Structure 1
Amino acid sequence: MPVFYFAGDSITASNRLWMPGGDGLGDGYVSLIAAQLRKKFPEAVFYNRGFDGFSVAALIRHLRRDTAWETADFITVQIGINNVGIAMNTGVSLKAQDFPQQYEELLSVLVRRTRSFSETAPGRAPAQRPVSADVPSESPSVPQPCTHDFSEMMPGRAPARILAVGPFLFPQPQEYAGWMPVVAQAETIMAETAAEAGVPFLPVQESLNNAARRQGYSAITTDGIHLTPAGHRLLAQLLLPHYDV
């Protein structure tokens, strides 16, 4: 019975805390992925741990309190756009936010539990470069170093498959056009950091924007940051091939 854990900001949360009586997965890409994977694995367990407004530092603090991810077979992290927003709205650059160090610490927290198993688990060679995110043509404050030994939390457990997903933004409304260089900077930092950590990195900025240019921005994004139902379907489509269970 595979366990899937999704962490991130409001893109991942997608109203999960505002849907009484729901399954806690929200109404975005996480719920769409779960619906597809449950066709093959009806008893699979899914956790959505997206929180509106989360930065990388906030996500690290959450992971130190949460325990659900320790049992996960697949961990997906989609984060970063709120750090870009801080840079653009306050003038505190990604470097001044210690964004590279924070993202390195985030991946370290996730990898540390599984690192001791990675050399012995069959077929688990880590990726060293960004993975492809091509869209089919027909598709619409600095955290302190972690002192926990995560490798001892689940002794004997196979390594979790971690997927790091890049941030994205759309140049409409027009005010976000000036944010694009910082989004690209964040994506580069994250891709390089993920490669050093041996974690696959999926860039989605170009794919989502290409789709928006073809279909119209209002078809993919509600406000330049968040996704429409069609946008969430597209993001789910990009991620699904990476859950090869």
Structure 2
Amino acid sequence: MHIKETDTLLFVGDSITDAGRDRGDFASLGDGYVNEIARTLRARAGDGPVPAVINRGVSGNRVYDLEARWTTDVIEHRPTVVTVKIGINDTWRLYDSRLASPVDEFEACLDRLLANTVRELSAQLVVITPFLLPVTPEQESWFEDLTPRIDAVLRAAAANGAQVVRADLAMRRAAETREAAELARDGVHPSPLGHRIVAEAWLAAVDSVAVAPDPQR
């Protein structure tokens, strides 16, 4: 697809999407990959019109939290492109709080959200895979839960015709030449460079216009 000036792009997810946005300011995009995508689209448009961009990320959310606010935070805005980034907290809470999110239940919930969006909107669906760049030995064990969860995300996306952004692969490739903490200080939350990598992966997967690499990288 190609992002058009008439599109409304809505991003929903956890803290990686939230990225410190001002909840009291509807136009706030935070300081993460959503803002990077918007900045790239503005730069490409020059003085011309640009698509509307809405950030509805909420720090700490798991997939069930998205379901509780899906109608008000997604459907009611009538977006034409809906991007979902969820899953790492469903894994993280298992290891720091023993709060389970069984992968089959996670997948069923995500599938419901995507299917509901297909029914309610004529929108392009985009799903960003969760990712982890371990910075402690303990985080290595998280892949036992996260890897099947990524597979679940891919299945739910395929079942609902969603475009997939493989952020897990993009971040892993970047970690081949950089320290993990340089890309995500705690293994989960991207640095400015990490957010730029996610943004470039989204633009490359979703928009047909080639994305020039950042000269600072």
- TM over 0.5: same fold? yes
**1:184-203 equivalent positions in 2, closer than 5 A:** 184-203=147-166
| Mapping 1:79-228, distance limit 5 Å | 79-95=86-102, 98-114=105-121, 159-228=122-191
Aligned residue-pair number:
200
> Partner of 2:64: helix, strand, or coil?
helix
Contact 1:54 1:82 in 2 (8 A): yes
Match of 2:40 in 1: 36
> Does 2:30 align with 1:26?
yes
Equivalent position of 2:213 in the other structure: none
3-state SS of the aligned residue for 2:37? helix
- Judged with a 3 Å threshold, the aligned counterparts in structure 2 of structure 1 residues 69 and 77 are, in CA distance, closer, same or farther, namely farther
> Does the CA-based 8 Å contact 1:94-1:186 persist in structure 2?
no
Deviation at 1:182, TM superposition (A): 1.3
Aligned to 2:10, which of 5, 22, 25? 5
Shift of 1:5: 0.4
Cα deviation 1:143-175 (Å, max 9, x = unaligned): xxxxxxxxxxxxxxxx21110111011111222
Task: For residue 112 of structure 1, report the CA deviation from its aligned partner.
Answer: 1.4
In 2, are the aligned partners of 1:13 and 1:51 still within 8 Å (CA)? Answer: yes
Map Cα deviations across residues 157-214 of structure 1 (whole Å, 9 max, x no partner): xx21110111011111222111012111100111112211222222221320221231
RMSD: 2.3
SS in 1 for 2:113: helix
Higher alpha-carbon deviation: 1-10 or 67-76: 67-76
Structure 1 residues 7 and 69, CA gap change in structure 2 (3 angstroms) = farther
Query: For the structure 1 residues 96 and 66, does the alpha-carbon distance in structure 2 shift closer, same or farther, using more than 3 Å as the test?
Result: closer
Q: TM-score, normalised by structure 1?
A: 0.74
What SS is found at the alignment partner of 2:142? helix
- Structure 1 residues 31, 195: CA separation in 2 closer, same or farther (over 3 Å shift)? same
Give distance in 1, aligned partners of 2:114 and 2:158.
11
Does the alignment pair 1:46 with 2:53?
A: yes
Contact preservation (8 Å) 1:47, 1:68: no
1:6 deviates by 0.5
Q: Structure 1 pair 199/43, CA: closer, same or farther in 2 (3 Å)?
A: closer
Distance 2:103 2:191 in 1: 32
- Which residue pairs with 2:193 in the alignment? 230
Q: What is the distance in 2 between the residues matched to 1:31 and 1:219?
A: 20
Identity %: 29
Partner-residue secondary structure (3-state), 1:162: strand
Which 5+ residue runs of structure 1 have no aligned equivalent? 115-158
